[in-house]
Structure 1
């Protein structure tokens, strides 16, 4: 698929996606991986960021119709899950993996279902895996919750024919070179280098999936 003027790519999720976007400006892309991807795509493609700080899967579901489907996207990318894990350890708020998986399944199923009277095809789905780069005391134990949640993301995305972007693996490999703190100082929120790794993982997955028209990061937009 070549990105053209008619393409609308919507990225959504939590603060990793939002990355400081101005919520009063619907075209604000934030300063993270979404902006980097937009800068690497042909200028004719429209990119929208609806990430929202602190979101868990249930929060994202509550605004999915307005913040994703209502934008008539041709490509939808979702990154969610780390807050479902984090809130267990810092606030005691549980998000059982089966419930999380069922929620993600509903989101993807609803996205692929044609709207009444809608003639355009279903959006292409990209699902990014949540990640953690332990740097703080006790963060290593979060994998007890995050590992099965990541498996659920991959399983659900695959079942819906989505392109899976293994951000967790890309960041883990990069951490072996640069160190975890250089990529995510608090283990969760990426640095500019961490965001670049995420953007490159998305672009590589898009190319592998046949979505040509994506230039490399740092190249001029067409």
Structure 2
């Protein structure tokens, strides 16, 4: 997949994508990986401003929240490349609020969103996996829920020919040489360095791979 200057890139997800964007300003990209990707693509552009980039992340979202706003926040913008990062809140809410998101239901919802997008837009799809760098012993148990959920994300991506960015592997590898808090102080939300690592992983994966087959 090669990004062109006339592409419209839309990113949607939870707070990691949101990254403090100003929702009253449609051009606001927040301070996270989306802004880093946009800045790099702009710097690489031979002429002009580079591709249009839209950030539709909203903090706290689970996959079902994405579904309720998918038409207005994704389809109506007619993007040519759609990147989805979702899943950590579907796990987190189980442990802090007792709010369950069964993995099979989660997977079916994500699969439906990807399939509908490919059908409606013929858009190229990118999925970023959720990740966790436990900030304390209480978060270690989250992997009981997150690991099968990550597998579900990978299956939904594969079923719909989506390019996968393995944020879970990227941050875990980086944590071998750094304190996890340097990458995600609370285990979930990336630091500036963590966001840069995700951005670099997206740029490496999306910039060098051809789109896979779609159903």
State the TM-score, normalizing by the size of structure 2.
0.92
Q: For the residues of structure 2 that align with 1:99 and 1:62, how far apart are their CA atoms? A: 15
Q: How does 1:161-176 map to 2 (within 5 A)?
A: 161-176=161-176
TM-superposed CA distance for 1:210, in Å, is 4.3
Partner SS for 2:132: coil
| Residue aligning to 1:199 | 199
Q: Which segment drifts farther, 199-208 or 124-133? A: 199-208
Q: Does 1:73 align with 2:108?
A: no
Q: Which segment drifts farther, 79-88 or 200-209? A: 200-209
Q: Does 1:35 align with 2:35?
A: yes
Task: Work out whether residues 10 and 79 of structure 2, in 8 Å CA contact, stay in contact via their aligned partners in 1.
Answer: yes
Q: How does 1:93-112 map to 2 (within 5 A)?
A: 93-112=99-118
Task: Work out whether residues 2 and 208 of structure 2, in 8 Å CA contact, stay in contact via their aligned partners in 1.
Answer: no
TM-superposed CA distance for 1:4, in Å, is 3.5
| Residue aligning to 1:135 | 135
| Residue aligning to 2:64 | 58
* CA offset digits 1:40-82 (Å, max 9, x no partner): 1133200000000000000011001110111100000000000
| Residue aligning to 2:54 | 48
Q: Does 1:6 align with 2:6?
A: yes
* CA offset digits 1:169-222 (Å, max 9, x no partner): 0000001111211000000000000001100110110123149xxxxxxxxxxx
Instruction: Structure 2: state its 5+ residue gaps.
Output: none
Q: How does 1:119-158 map to 2 (within 5 A)?
A: 122-158=122-158
Runs of 4+ with >2 A deviation: 1-6
Q: For the residues of structure 2 that align with 1:50 and 1:150, how far apart are their CA atoms? A: 21
Residue-pair matches, total:
205
Q: For the residues of structure 2 that align with 1:204 and 1:185, how far apart are their CA atoms? A: 25
Task: Work out whether residues 3 and 44 of structure 1, in 8 Å CA contact, stay in contact via their aligned partners in 2.
Answer: no
State the TM-score, normalizing by the size of structure 1.
0.89
| Residue aligning to 1:183 | 183
Q: For the residues of structure 2 that align with 1:139 and 1:110, how far apart are their CA atoms? A: 34
Question: CA RMSD of the aligned region, Å?
Answer: 1.2
